[in-house]
Structure 1
Amino acid sequence: MAKKQFARSDRIADQMQRELADIIRTELKDPRVGWVTLTAVEVTRDYSHAKVFYTVMNSTDLDTTQRALEHAGGFLRSEVSRRIKLFTVPQLHFIYDQSIERGMHMTQLINQVAEADQALRVDDEDDASKPADKPAE
Structure 2
Amino acid sequence: MLASERRRKQVARQVQETVATLLLHSMKDPRASFVTVTGVEMNHDLTLATIRYSVLNSKDKPRVKTLLDHALGFFRTEVARAVKLRSAPKLDFRYDDGSELTERIDKILDRVLPPKDSDEE
**Helix, strand or coil for the counterpart of 2:51?**
strand
**Which runs of 5 or more structure 2 residues have no equivalent in the other structure?**
117-121
- Tell me the distance in 2 between the aligned counterparts of 1:28 and 1:80: 15
Deviates more, 1:12-21 or 1:25-34: 25-34
| TM-score between the two structures when normalised by the length of structure 1 | 0.76
Match of 1:18 in 2: 17
Q: Aligned-pair distance for 1:24?
A: 1.3
Match of 1:134 in 2: none
Q: Deviations over 1:12-62 (max 9, x none)?
A: 101110111001111122345341000000010111111100011111111
Deviates more, 1:28-37 or 1:91-100: 28-37
**Helix, strand or coil for the counterpart of 2:32?**
coil
Match of 2:28 in 1: 29
CA contact under 8 A between 2:49 and 2:89: conserved in structure 1?
A: yes
Between the two proteins, the alignment pairs up a number of residues equal to 113
- Structure 1 or 2, whichever has the larger Rg, is 1
CA contact under 8 A between 2:52 and 2:96: conserved in structure 1?
A: yes
Moved over 4 A (4+): none
Q: Deviations over 1:88-113 (max 9, x none)?
A: 21111111100001001111111111
Higher relative contact order, structure no. (Cα contacts within 8 Å, ≥ 6 residues apart) = 2
Fraction of identical pairs, as percent: 35
**Helix, strand or coil for the counterpart of 1:89?**
coil
**Helix, strand or coil for the counterpart of 2:113?**
helix
**Which runs of 5 or more structure 1 residues have no equivalent in the other structure?**
119-137
Match of 2:41 in 1: 42
Match of 2:67 in 1: 68
